[in-house]
Amino acid sequence: MIEIQYNDRQKRIIEIVKEHQPVTSEKISKLLNVNRSTIRPDLSILIMTGILDARPKVGYLYVGDQEDKVIANHIRNVKVNDLKSMPVVVDEKTTVYDAIVFMFMKDVGTIYVTSNGYLSGVVSRKDFLKTAIGGNDIRKIPINVIMTRMPNLIIAFSNESIYEAAQRLINCEIDSLPVVERLLIDNSEVYKVVGRISKTNITKFFVELGTKEFGGLEDA
């Protein structure tokens, strides 16, 4: 992002407009104790850079940051449910070999593992590579031997914001989160896998965001 460097007088004009808007150039010049002609070029720059708006017969208004707020607001309102894709799931008795073939067929980077239908683990490309270069017989080892397992799994819920999910992906340095529903079975908590949020989902969303026009400033 390009950071615009305003001079001291321009910064003071911004503060005056924020405080007194809508405000005429006459009032701004009085508050600054300078001639109107002195601040004319400053006002032109502030309008050109989008921080101020000039309304004829009304005066100057502060509009800076508003568009950023609209975008931030929009991102925080989008839910995991709106972007999640189909999960790719195997049972924990599946062999590493079969799981690798399945991963290629489904064209994903992470597979979720279930035990009795509920989430028990996650396996990524690197887990498979580690197992393969370790000289193991991948046709014999079940996937639950190599997976990252409960309770160390990082998950997401459908009603969370996509912003929270993206933060979790970055903070935990992983590529995807299983989207789950929490259930109580025989007094113990289990998770049903209902989707997947990956860095690809977030990138697609980012691209869509880039093609949008943010006109609804009143949402900010």
Which residues contribute to the site for ligand ADP (CB under 6 A)? 109-110, 122-127, 148, 152-154, 174-177
Q: CB neighbours (10 Å) of residue 23? A: 20
Minimum distance of ligand ADP from residue 149's CB (angstroms):
9
Of 135 and 151, which has the nearer Cβ to ligand ADP?
A: 151
Minimum distance of ligand ADP from residue 129's CB (angstroms):
8
Minimum distance of ligand ADP from residue 103's CB (angstroms):
11
Minimum distance of ligand ADP from residue 87's CB (angstroms):
11
Cα–chain-centroid distance for residue 32?
A: 42
Of 14 and 146, which has the nearer Cβ to ligand ADP?
A: 146
Letter for the amino acid at 105? M
Q: Is 84 exposed, middle or buried (0-12, 13-18, 19+ CB in 10 A)?
A: buried
Of 29 and 120, which has the nearer Cβ to ligand ADP?
A: 120
Minimum distance of ligand ADP from residue 75's CB (angstroms):
21
Report the candidate in 97, 119, 99, 105 with the shortest Cα–Cα distance to residue 177: 119
Of 16 and 165, which has the nearer Cβ to ligand ADP?
A: 165
Q: What's the angle, vertex CA 38, arms to CA 37 and CA 39, rounded to 5?
A: 95
Of 28 and 165, which has the nearer Cβ to ligand ADP?
A: 165
What is the DSSP secondary structure assignment for residue 218, as one 8-state letter? Answer: G
Q: Long-range CB contacts (< 8 A, 24+ apart) of 127-133?
A: 128/96, 128/99, 128/100, 128/103, 131/96
